């Protein structure tokens, strides 16, 4: 896309579906684009499958297709490639990969949702490009396709004509960004309000991945250090203290951290402390002072700086977003409960 407004021309959005596709990866973007038509947008959405037949999603529901992929004659303004739990099998489907390449070749913009990034990467469309996927799979994407420059914390990434987004609902974020590009911020904002979603959600993916990234080490002495930090984040974990615990010099321990975890001792300790604070903020009523003290930060200001640095949100904003849906604090009638 060149950023110019499309005027009165109807924009074509093609969504490629396949057996086992994740339902929200499809319906999220479709809902954004069709809702935009109510606020000044002009989109025509078509669902295509390999052979034009309906497909069964990973949720067990059926999605119909408008036509087969090889029947698409007109170029698309946006091609959406969703993901699915069985992406490792999907990327070995030569017919599906050919469909991805052909449809992308005539599309002005190709966008993946969640593990759909693996399909784009397997098709060779992300070589040398920046990309993201669900936080659980960012490391695997980088290992499987080393030519892809993975950005693990991004909600979505744009690199030229390719866009990739994070897990499941991030397809909505990506689609809203495209609506804003096509028709302006006012239209995108109206769609976001109508769907009751963030126009731009706070923070990145790392706020969802509590304790998922704690590294494993082949070195027994380093494993003892890592475990000690994880078991008691609030204890003294200075470099000197950890080196004494491991029985090695501070320099040697730093080298082990770099070789085994690809991070520094200080950064590892801070990450574990942030993750421990996330758990306390999600599950407890402790004040910020208590959370900071229990997790080794010492002060609310140090806690706040670490949260912003690692997660892109403040501790207060994190607690508000992730502690509860708010249903317990609503009166029955306002929560939609009767009698």
The tens digit of pLDDT for each residue in 157-170 reads: 999 999 999 877 88
User: Are 309 and 169 contained in the same domain?
Assistant: no
Taking each helix axis as running N to C, give the angle between helix 265-283 and helix 315-322, from 0 to 180 degrees, rounded to the nearest 10.
50
| Residue pair 205/153 in contact by the 8 Å Cβ criterion | yes
Host H or E run for residue 15: strand 11-16
The tens digit of pLDDT for each residue in 279-335 reads 788 777 889 999 999 999 999 999 999 999 988 889 988 887 765 544 444 444 433
Q: Is 4 part of any domain?
A: no
| 17 and 117, same domain (yes or no) | yes
Among the listed residues 171, 152, 167, the one whose alpha carbon sits nearest the alpha carbon of residue 27 = 171
For residue 62, indicate whether it is catalytic: no
Residues 177 and 216 in one domain: no
Give the CATH number, domain containing residue 306. 1.10.10.60
Query: Could you read off the pLDDT tens digit of each residue along the chain, which spans 339 residues?
Result: 444 566 678 999 999 999 999 999 999 999 999 999 999 999 999 999 999 999 999 999 999 999 999 999 999 999 999 999 999 999 999 999 999 999 999 999 999 999 999 999 999 999 999 999 988 888 899 999 999 999 887 888 999 999 999 877 889 888 999 998 999 988 988 888 888 776 565 555 554 443 344 455 567 788 888 888 888 889 999 999 999 988 999 999 999 988 887 889 999 999 889 988 887 887 778 899 999 999 999 999 999 999 999 888 899 888 877 655 444 444 444 334 333
Residue 227 and residue 271 in one domain: yes
Number of domains composing the chain: 2
Same-domain check for residues 71 and 197: yes
Instruction: Give the range of the structural domain holding residue 262, as residue numbers without chain letter.
Output: 208-322
Residue 93 inside a domain? The answer is yes
Burial 59-85 (b: 16+ CB within 10 A, else e): eeeebebeeebeebeeebbbbbbbbbe
Report yes or no on 241 lying in a domain. yes
Note if the pTM is more than 0.75: no
Q: Does 257 lie in the same domain as 188?
A: no
From the list 62, 109, 114, 321, the catalytic residue is 114
Same structural domain for residues 215 and 309? yes
Question: 173 with 179: CB under 8 angstroms?
Answer: no
């Amino acid at each position: 896309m060149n950023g110019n407004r499309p005027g009165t021309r109807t924009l074509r959005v093609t969504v490629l579906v396949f057996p086992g596709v994740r339902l929200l990866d499809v319906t999220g973007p479709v809902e954004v684009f069709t809702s935009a038509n109510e606020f000044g947008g002009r989109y025509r959405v078509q669902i295509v499958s390999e052979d034009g037949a309906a497909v069964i999603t990973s949720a067990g529901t059926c999605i119909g297709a408008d036509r087969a992929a090889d029947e698409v004659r007109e170029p698309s303004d946006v091609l959406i490639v969703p993901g699915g739990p069985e992406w490792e099998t999907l990327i070995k489907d030569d017919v599906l990969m050919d469909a991805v390449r052909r449809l992308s070749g005539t599309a002005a913009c190709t966008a993946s949702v969640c593990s759909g990034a693996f399909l784009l990467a397997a098709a060779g469309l992300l070589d040398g490009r920046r990309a993201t996927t669900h936080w659980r799979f960012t490391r695997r994407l980088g290992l499987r396709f080393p030519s892809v420059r993975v950005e693990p914390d991004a909600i979505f990434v744009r690199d030229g004509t390719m866009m990739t987004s994070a897990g499941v609902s991030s397809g909505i974020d990506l689609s809203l960004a495209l609506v804003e590009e096509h028709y302006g911020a006012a239209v995108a904002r109206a769609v976001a309000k109508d769907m009751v979603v963030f126009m731009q959600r706070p923070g990145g993916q790392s706020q969802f991945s509590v304790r998922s990234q704690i590294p494993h080490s082949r070195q027994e002495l380093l494993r003892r250090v890592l475990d000690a930090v994880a078991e008691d984040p609030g204890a003294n974990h200075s470099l000197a203290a950890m080196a004494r615990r491991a029985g090695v010099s501070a320099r040697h321990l730093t080298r082990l951290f770099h070789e085994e975890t690809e991070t520094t001792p200080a950064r590892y300790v801070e990450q574990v402390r942030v993750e421990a604070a996330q758990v306390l903020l999600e599950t407890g009523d402790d004040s910020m002072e208590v959370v900071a003290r229990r997790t080794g930060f010492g002060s609310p200001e140090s806690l706040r700086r670490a949260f912003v640095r690692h997660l892109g949100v403040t501790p207060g904003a994190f607690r508000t977003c992730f502690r509860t849906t708010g249903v317990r604090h609503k009166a029955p009638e306002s929560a939609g409960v009767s009698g």
